[in-house]
Amino acid sequence: MTRLGVLLGAAALAACEVPFDPRIPSDDVVSLSGYLDASADTQWVRVERLDATTGTSGRPLPITVTLVDAASGAEAALVQRVWPTVVGPAHLFWTTAGVAPGRSYRLHVDTEAGAATATVVTPDTADYVVSVESGPQSCPAIVTVSGDVDVADVQAVFRVVRAGRPSDVRISHAARVERAPDGTARVSLYYADDADEALAVGQILSSQIRVSVSATEWPVHPGASIESVLLEPTFGAEGQIEGGVGFVGGVVSEWYAYVPPIEPCSRP
């Protein structure tokens, strides 16, 4: 499954209602949400206008979004796509421009009401170490992340054959994140009964664990998928978005072998 399929599949279930009261004077013009993934071939962010019509327009917004590499100055214009959800349209912007680890980027949003800029930093792969412990007798699987990064998401991903075609089934059971005094994160990943139900319809080709780390503090609660930053009212560090509100993270996602346990185990 492509990253677009995951993002839009989630958007079909929920949408981000901009936490903004138009009755309160503000210089903010847009809400930005999403993340830049240095491991992905396509980048997606969501932009919504902060005015009385927010969430009601099913048409493309009259705005432009540009991705800028802070070091080289290289620019890429993002393409808009309006995606319907159960509570209103989501205005998504995408680009296939390359995003690399350990770099700084800016997302510029220009509207008729003003402009906004989000600064996004992707983690350097030399700044952290990931280890994964899994096996037939290991439930939960343990993912350890040490270094100057935050854990954005940990998911079990199974590639299965359905109706003769391969597809990905993602089951997020990163139920608990514990931190040692030195900042090391220890993530418990559970393979529970609902995994069997989701996988029963297809032949399993492979299983992996996807670990996504962020260069800055990740604001979404543990257990939420990384894609939820496109769907929930989420705020990052103050001042990250000039002229707007919201959160845009920078991540690196890496894949590790996953051996599911013989028997499911429940979260404590």
Which pLDDT tens digit goes with each residue over 31-56? Answer: 899 999 999 999 999 999 886 454 45
Query: Does the residue 42 lie in any domain?
Result: yes
What is the structure's pLDDT at 68?
A: 98
Does residue 177 share a domain with residue 152? yes
- pLDDT confidence bin for 173, thresholds 50/70/90: low
Does residue 16 share a domain with residue 62? yes
Report the relative pairing of strands 43-49 and 64-69 from DSSP bridges: unpaired
Of the candidates 157, 9, 29, the one whose C-alpha atom is nearest the C-alpha of residue 92 is 9
Query: Does the residue 191 lie in any domain?
Result: yes
Does residue 209 share a domain with residue 171? yes
Does residue 203 share a domain with residue 139? yes
Better-scored residue on pLDDT, 252 or 216: 252
268 contacts 54 by C-beta, under 8 angstroms: no
- pLDDT confidence bin for 24, thresholds 50/70/90: very low
pLDDT digit string, tens, across residues 61-81: 999 999 999 999 999 999 999
Query: Does the residue 157 lie in any domain?
Result: yes
Which domain does 155 fall in, by range?
126-222
Query: Does the residue 168 lie in any domain?
Result: yes
Does residue 177 share a domain with residue 139? yes
Q: What CATH number should be reported for the domain holding residue 39?
A: 2.60.40.380
Does residue 232 share a domain with residue 117? yes
In the chain the first and final C-alpha atoms are separated, in Å, by: 31
For residues 193 and 199, give the distance between their C-alpha atoms in angstroms, rounded to a whole number: 10
Total count of domains within the chain:
2
pTM: 0.83
Query: Does the residue 143 lie in any domain?
Result: yes
Better-scored residue on pLDDT, 135 or 264: 135
Omega before residue 60 within 30° of 0, cis: no
Q: Is 158 helix (H, G, I), strand (E, B) or coil?
A: strand
Does residue 46 share a domain with residue 81? yes
Does residue 117 share a domain with residue 135? no
What is the structure's pLDDT at 63?
A: 94
